[in-house]
Amino acid sequence: MSDRSRTRAFFDALAFPARLLSAGLAEDENARVRVEQDAYVLELDLPGYDTGAFDVSWDDGYLSVTATTDDRSYENEFHFPSIVRAADIRATYDADGGQLTVTLPVYGRRSSGGATAERGAAD
């Protein structure tokens, strides 16, 4: 199998669970997920919160997002495949745009064509 074929096969494997995940996101009109070469990116439209209002946590394949203010709250849980590198999950909130972005890096081939990381157990 050529290097290009292996890269395409890995990307297809990464994209397949995302299609299933996207179907589950239909219940949450605030949420979108996209697949990048080395990560899932979850975008949530949640305007009107302060950065400190968010709690983002990972537990055995589930990403939990909660946000609370004095007058409202948001809570949802999203399931991701076991290829997510839990220790490297990062969340940022753009208060001006009202968007929370959670980047979930995955184990596997890097987009630079460099070494392949070994898949390990999620925290």
Domain annotation for the chain: domains and CATH numbers? 3-105 (2.60.40.790)
The pLDDT value recorded for residue 112 is 43
The average confidence (pLDDT) of the chain is 78
pLDDT score for 27: 67
Q: What is the pLDDT of residues 60-80, one digit of tens each?
A: 999 999 999 999 999 999 999
Helix (H) or strand (E) holding 57: strand 54-59
pLDDT digits (tens, 9 = 90+) for 17-42: 554 454 445 567 889 999 998 999 99
Supply the pLDDT for residue 67: 97
E runs forming strands in the chain: 31-36, 39-45, 54-59, 62-68, 73-79, 90-94, 99-105
Give the predicted TM-score (pTM) of the model.
Answer: 0.70
Confidence bin at 117 (pLDDT 50/70/90):
very low
Give pLDDT, residue 116. 36
- pLDDT for position 109: 45
The predicted pLDDT at position 29 comes to 86
| CA-CA-CA-CA dihedral for 29, 39, 53, 59, to nearest 10 | 100
User: How far is 99 from 17, CA to CA, in rounded Å?
Assistant: 23
pLDDT one-digit tens code per residue, 85-110: 999 999 999 999 999 999 999 987 45
Tell me, what's the pLDDT at 8?
52
